[in-house]
Structure formats: structure tokens, C-alpha cells
Structure 1
């Protein structure tokens, strides 16, 4: 895993609770990335190292700087630190770009639909900009939910793209705090719903469309159910997952256990409380294990199970790149009290 240090060139205020960090590219080792991927940032806060992944809002073909957009989360240690402390000129430690929520050019696709809510727009706007520049024959559609225009991240960017790509980009806004205005006929009241989706796509050649979804689980389910009704090929539906979906039933036989973690040549016995992952417990114990997505999507926190039994819960996607003894510690829970895990070589 490559690490870089980046200098903050600018801090742009997007909305009242959202900012974009603009980083200069390194002078020698340029960072290559794909639109839709994420950058993992690390900071030491109150003596503890915190790491969080944030999607690129920039696009390789459109933007000179590397940009990540961060929404302030109530009681969120990391996001509040970034909002309150980061300034132009600061140096930030980052990991190499990761993530498979990216656009792959498919000549059979002539229309792409982007579905997002709130900060879920971040990887979508990255891909939208890239597609508009690199795929001139593809029609782009954005369906975007927010409370109102004041809370709409990248509103100015979206409006600029509408002017620049008048014939190729269409946008529908959904507002839960809806204010009727004849000038904004493209704004709809409420949330993105199945009726709207089915009506929007009823006369579309569905097999020639692709769909990118980023937002809450309810949004993903609503869109995927509607697309299933329309018999949209699953291979053209892509979603970004920023949370582990945990079923309480999966934890019924899991108890508080002790796990022996071997990292950087040292063995540490860690108490893993019921409901907490091995990664969470290790970090709480002061072991600075490598990690990034925390949703089982990457393999940064991979460890090898040497003894005992563990179970991975809430994996966002099926993984075919893990060996039998490999476990992603962000979603791993011990089943026995003799678990021994080794991280790295």
C-alpha cells in the first residue's frame, strides 16, 4: 500500500456543513486515480491516529487538483477535526486511491443514470464530469435528493455543467422541504420513489442504460427494485457502499472474547466486546492497524487467522480475492476465545 503526503491548496465551502479539500499533486510521484474512487486521509487527533476514506469529487480529465468533499457529521471526530482545523498549506497523509465504483466504457451503453442523495453526490459528480468529457456520445442523467437548494452539494457545479452540456445532461432535484417555484419545474417534492423511476424509464431502451447509485440503503433498494421490474441487466447497475449492513440475528451467538493480534512483530491480547469488530477493538486498545473503508470493500485491514474461529458480518459485496484464512478485520467477529490473528508479514 503506497502512502503520500499532500499539501492543501484550497478549502472550498460547498454548503453550511460541507467543504472540499483541494490538494496539489505531488511534484514527483503523481497520483493516478479513476473517477469515483476514494482517497483515504489520516490525522492524529488527541494522540490517536484516525483514518477515513472520502470519495474524489474531482475527475482526472476535468480537474488539475485532487479534491475530496467532506460533510460534517454530528459528533464525528474526524469530520469535525477537518472542518475546524484544516487550513491552506497543511500537509496531509493519504493512502493511494482505492475503490471499484468507477465507470468502465461500454459501447453498448448510450445513456447513464446517476442516483444520489445528500453527500452521496460526491463520487457521482466525479464520474459525471469524467463521462461528459470522455464519452461525447453518452447521455447523462442525474436524479439527486436533498432537503432544499441550500443543502445541495455542488449546486453551482451542476448548474455550470447544465450550461456547458445543455444537450447531454439532464437533472432532476428531489426536495423534502419543497418550495413551489415555476422557474424550477425540474424540482419535485419528497423523496426519489419507484413511481417516478418507472415513469422516467418507461420509454427507454433499458438494456442500453447504466445506473450508478450512491446514498442510503433505502434509496438503493428503491432504485434496484424498480430496475428489476423493468428487467434492467444487473451487470449495468453499480452502487457505492459506505456502511456495513448488520442483521442482529448474525450476532446472536457472538460473545465478548479475547483475540491475540500479532502486528509489527508484537503480540497483543485484545478484549473484543460483543458487537464490536476486531478492528474497532484493536484501535480502541491503541494498536494502529492499517485500515481504510471499514465496510469490507477494500483489503487494507486484512489479517490471517492462525487459530480459533471468526465470522465476517455485513460484507457489502462478495469477495473472491480472499483465501480461506483471510479475514477483513473491520467486519470480523471472534466466535471462540483462542483467536490468533496475524497482520502483515
Structure 2
């Protein structure tokens, strides 16, 4: 992180900006403001050093490179801002106990500081699924992409039929509570429902208590079976919603959930799936057909001095997991950039989905989640 003078650009000049922001050309963002949403949630408003316009779809995310303790740490954060307000972007972050990035953001990032970002990315957006009626379901910090969608609909003034159902621990944990209530008051077609597990120390919750259930959902949104549904939250919450909708006979083709769960580490599940795929491949090789010869390459991690063998048909990340080596990763799809690493020796075949810039590739960087070796490798990890 570096510090830069807080923007003195006149507001009129920033609003008149006609140049789109391009992360390929300039990935630096300046923190303009830090806003406290709840006792453990803050919003960070960011913009380029010079006036720029941001184009993205509500629900998309940016991948950030934070300099923490002398190391570069990558994290993905969904934009909570709306593209209808294109002159700045914002991320809303919950402080996680022991979380190195969320705590650093809450304790350190201040107006005038700079960070680096790449994006926008992601396919989780209402823009990709136009519909007359929407149901937005969120749990905890999963509220951020839903807020981006709700703000966008509100700004466009379409009076689109939107039901927003949010689950929180207590009334004090309802993020954007005041803004959501104001939007619902101004637009009768926008309805907000909150569910709290318990009372707050200074407020007894008068609404539905406990966790989202079929009965609570039917009471809040009787016509939920007719809506396009977007879901984001912790993995158990999304799994429960998925099962609930399926059991209710919902057309799951109209169910969309955030493809990243930033509050959990699903590596174990993906590693198990990779092992199952390998087992199936092994069973197939028992057939009386000649199995193709698969070359194996040596991969050395320079900093940790770990060495493993990686078949040419396996990604480096999958091979590392099978060898018990934990590497930073999130999406495992070449989108987020979390596993970006410098390959100091050797070559790879990489099929990424936008999580790395061409200039980084030219400098020898690679996304280990989607890179398969074509020679022996030395990786700067």
C-alpha cells in the first residue's frame, strides 16, 4: 500500500470525466472515504487518481492486490456500489476474527491510501437474467452483490418488482439497513424483509426470528416460485436455500448463486473432487485399451523448497493439493487471481478466464489453478 494525497479534483471535473477506467492500463485506486456500516462492517469508497468512469454489471467483483507485512496478498471483493453511479466504486467488508486482510482493511486503509485492483469480473449479475420479478436472498456479508443490484434498480427508476430478504445475526448486524428501508419507502415495488437469529443488546427484534425457512419465505414473498432468484451468503446458507427451493418445486434454472464464497475455504471439497476424477480415470485405464502416455514434470517451489511431480494433464494447483501443499486460491477457475505466482523457470499451458493481465503473463506470472506444465518448473512460492 502507498499513500497519495487525497483527491482535490473538483467534483464537477470528476463528474464530467469521459475516460473509462481500464485496469490493464492503470490498476491503481485511491481510497476516497471509509464508512462504518455496522460494528464490524465498513465500506471503502475507491476511485482512480484521475477522473475515470467505471463500467460493470451489478454483482461483479474486483481482485485486489494488498501489500500487507511486506507481502502481496490477493483477495476478491464484490462491488457493493452501483454502475449507475460510475465515478467511484465501493467494497463493503466484514471484519473476520483472525482474517489478515479484513482486519488490515479495517485498521489500516484510510482516505488517500492506494491499492491495486483488476477487473471487473464475474457472471453473477441480474443483467444476465432479465426478468419482471426478482427475489434477492442474502445472508451476512452476502448482502454486497444484492445491494449493488438493488441500488441499480432503484437508480434506474423502473419500479421493478424486487423482493429483498436478508438474514442477519441481530438487528445491529443488518448491513445497509437504513438505506434499504429508505428505498422501500420510496418505491412500493421494492420490498425488504429481514430475519434475525437473536435480539441486539439495545433492540428487541420484532420481525421473523431464527433462520430462513419455507414458512418465513412464503410469508414474506408468497409468489417466490414466479421470480428470478439470486442467492449469496456463507456456504451452509446457500446450500440450505438451494435445498429449500428445490423441495418447493422451484425451477432451478432460474436460481443463481454467487460462485465465490469469500467466508470459507472450499479447497478440501475441490481436492476431493479432483481425487475422485483421478480415480475414475484410473478405472478407465484398466480397460483393455492402450492408455496414453502422460508425461510428468518436476515442480519446485523456490521459497518453501518443496518439490512435487505434476502430470502434464493436471494443473499445478491440483498437484500441489494432492501433495499436501497449501497454496493461496479461491475460484479455481482462472478468474480471481488469488493463486497468481511467478514462474522463474519452465513453461506452462494456461487457460485463464481474465484473472491475469497480458503484461503479467509477459513478465512470467501464471495462475496455478489453470496452468498445466509443459516442462519442469520453478515457482516463486
Which one of 187, 191, 199 corresponds to residue 211 of structure 2?
191
Matched, 1:176 2:197: yes
Question: Are the equivalent residues in 2 in contact too, given 1:7–1:91 (CA < 8 A)?
Answer: yes
1:1-345 correspondence to structure 2 within 5 Å: 2=24, 3-27=26-50, 30-62=53-85, 64-104=87-127, 109-134=131-156, 136-165=158-187, 167-178=188-199, 187-198=207-218, 200=220, 202=222, 204=223, 206-207=225-226, 209-240=227-258, 241-242=260-261, 243=264, 244=266, 246-247=268-269, 249-250=272-273, 260=299, 270-271=306-307, 278=317, 294-299=330-335, 300=337, 301=339, 329-330=368-369, 340=376
* 1:43 positional shift: 1.7
* 1:112 positional shift: 0.6
Question: Are the equivalent residues in 2 in contact too, given 1:270–1:281 (CA < 8 A)?
Answer: no
* 1:190 positional shift: 0.3
Change (3 A) 1:153 1:63: farther
Change (3 A) 1:82 1:62: same
CA–CA distance in structure 2, aligned partners of residues 63 and 164 of structure 1: 22
Could you list the structure 1 runs, at least 4 aligned residues long, displaced by more than 6 angstroms after superposition: 181-184, 251-254, 266-269, 279-282, 331-334
Question: Are the equivalent residues in 2 in contact too, given 1:174–1:191 (CA < 8 A)?
Answer: yes
* 1:307 positional shift: 9.9
Task: Name the SS for the 2:120 alignment partner.
Answer: coil
Task: Name the SS for the 1:41 alignment partner.
Answer: strand
Question: What is the alpha-carbon root mean square deviation over aligned residues?
Answer: 4.2
CA–CA distance in structure 2, aligned partners of residues 195 and 35 of structure 1: 29
Q: Which structure carries more strand by proportion?
A: 1
Question: Are the equivalent residues in 2 in contact too, given 1:295–1:331 (CA < 8 A)?
Answer: no
* 1:119 positional shift: 0.6
* 1:296 positional shift: 2.3
* 1:151 positional shift: 1.4
Question: Which stretch of the first structure deviates more once superposed, 134-143 or 26-35?
Answer: 26-35
Change (3 A) 1:87 1:228: same
Question: Which stretch of the first structure deviates more once superposed, 3-12 or 132-141?
Answer: 132-141
* 1:201 positional shift: 5.1
CA–CA distance in structure 1, aligned partners of residues 128 and 274 of structure 2: 41
The runs of 5 or more residues in structure 2 that have no matched partner are 1-22, 279-295, 309-315, 322-326, 349-365
Question: Which stretch of the first structure deviates more once superposed, 151-160 or 127-136?
Answer: 127-136
CA–CA distance in structure 2, aligned partners of residues 222 and 89 of structure 1: 42
Task: Name the SS for the 2:83 alignment partner.
Answer: coil
Question: Are the equivalent residues in 1 in contact too, given 2:59–2:146 (CA < 8 A)?
Answer: yes
The runs of 5 or more residues in structure 1 that have no matched partner are 283-288, 309-326
Q: Which structure carries more helix by proportion?
A: 2
Question: Are the equivalent residues in 1 in contact too, given 2:58–2:145 (CA < 8 A)?
Answer: yes
Change (3 A) 1:302 1:51: closer
Task: Name the SS for the 2:104 alignment partner.
Answer: helix
For these two proteins, the number of residue pairs brought into alignment is 300
Structure whose CA Rg is larger: 2
Question: Are the equivalent residues in 1 in contact too, given 2:28–2:116 (CA < 8 A)?
Answer: yes
Alpha-carbon displacement from aligned partner over 1:137-173 (angstroms, at most 9, x marks no partner):
52111111111121111112212212221x1111111
Question: Are the equivalent residues in 2 in contact too, given 1:19–1:70 (CA < 8 A)?
Answer: yes
Question: Are the equivalent residues in 2 in contact too, given 1:198–1:230 (CA < 8 A)?
Answer: no
Change (3 A) 1:98 1:250: closer
Change (3 A) 1:342 1:237: farther
